[in-house]
Amino acid sequence: MDIRQVNFSSYYREESSKKQVYLHHTAGSADGERQFQFWDADAVKVATCVCVSRSGEVVQGFGSKYWAHHLGLSSKHFKSRGIGYRNLDRSSIGVEICNWGWLKKDGDNFLTYTGTKLHPDRVIELDAPYRGHKYWEAYTPEQIEATRDLLLLWRDRYGIPMTYNDDIWDVTMRALKGDPGLYTHNSVRSDKTDVYPHPQLVAMLKSL
């Protein structure tokens, strides 16, 4: 698997053990390098170590042994579930898939939350709405395959179990408690919609 390194500084150069992987999507840029440029302009260290462009290219801003904030968790997210705060950012790896996320259908048009119009070829309609939305920008086959390669790499490097569990599409105590495994941003935040259960993505996760 080819990984392209870009110049990026907004992360913590502190090695930490890794127990979890979280899948995200950008809700924006289709290009991983542009996403890192956006993050680097922010003084707050918010990023994932890699972004997967729509072409399937994996762009890396920093090594997976380091960390940055990518979950947006505070003590309230843990307290509401009766557990103490855990710095899951530090003990996890985030991968960001470049994708707009949910879409609004307006007549024959499909619009992003910013009003950007997407070609129908880039749209998938789910059998049932997920978190209130039925139309989404489709993850590309190249992105799904590249994400698979990353997950297998991190499984072998860090011993993180990649067994698929249906509960990853909603907040789960397993994730919040720091149990080792593969999760989505939705696994720890009820207000998030990344990633969504694209059928081919789910099939890939089940095949790991």
Predicted confidence at residue 29, as pLDDT, reads: 73
pLDDT at 22 (0 to 100): 98
What CA–CA distance (Å, rounded) separates 153 from 1? Answer: 9
pLDDT value of residue 77? 94
Distant-in-sequence, close-in-space partners of 108: CB < 8 Å, separation ≥ 6: 120
Task: Identify the CA nearest to 96 among candidates 203, 179, 162, 192.
Answer: 192
* CATH no., domain 3-99+139-207: 3.40.80.10
Domain ranges of the chain: 3-99+139-207, 101-138
Interatomic CA distance for residues 73 and 95, integer angstroms: 17
Place of tokens 């898939």: 97
Contact 8, 171 (CB under 8 A): no
Which pLDDT does position 50 carry in this prediction?
A: 98
Q: How many other C-beta atoms lie within 10 A of the C-beta of residue 63?
A: 13
Residue 60 and residue 49 in contact, taking contact as beta carbons nearer than 8 Å = yes
pLDDT tens string 34-68: 999 999 988 889 999 999 999 999 999 999 999 99
Residue 125's pLDDT is what? Answer: 98
Predicted TM-score of the model (pTM): 0.97
Span 142-155, pLDDT tens digits: 999 999 999 999 99
Cβ burial of 73 (10 Å; 0-12, 13-18, 19+) is middle
**How, if at all, do strands 3-5 and 58-60 pair?**
parallel
Q: What is the pLDDT of residue 42?
A: 84
3-state secondary structure of 81: coil
The most distant pair of C-alpha atoms in the chain lies apart, rounded to whole Å, by: 50
Give the pLDDT score at 1.
Answer: 80
pLDDT in tens, the chain (208 residues): 889 999 999 999 999 999 999 999 999 877 999 999 999 988 889 999 999 999 999 999 999 999 999 999 999 999 989 999 999 999 999 999 999 999 999 999 999 999 999 999 999 999 999 999 999 999 999 999 999 999 999 999 999 999 999 999 999 999 999 999 999 999 999 999 999 999 999 999 999 9
The overall average pLDDT reported for the chain is 96
Tokens of 63: 């090594």
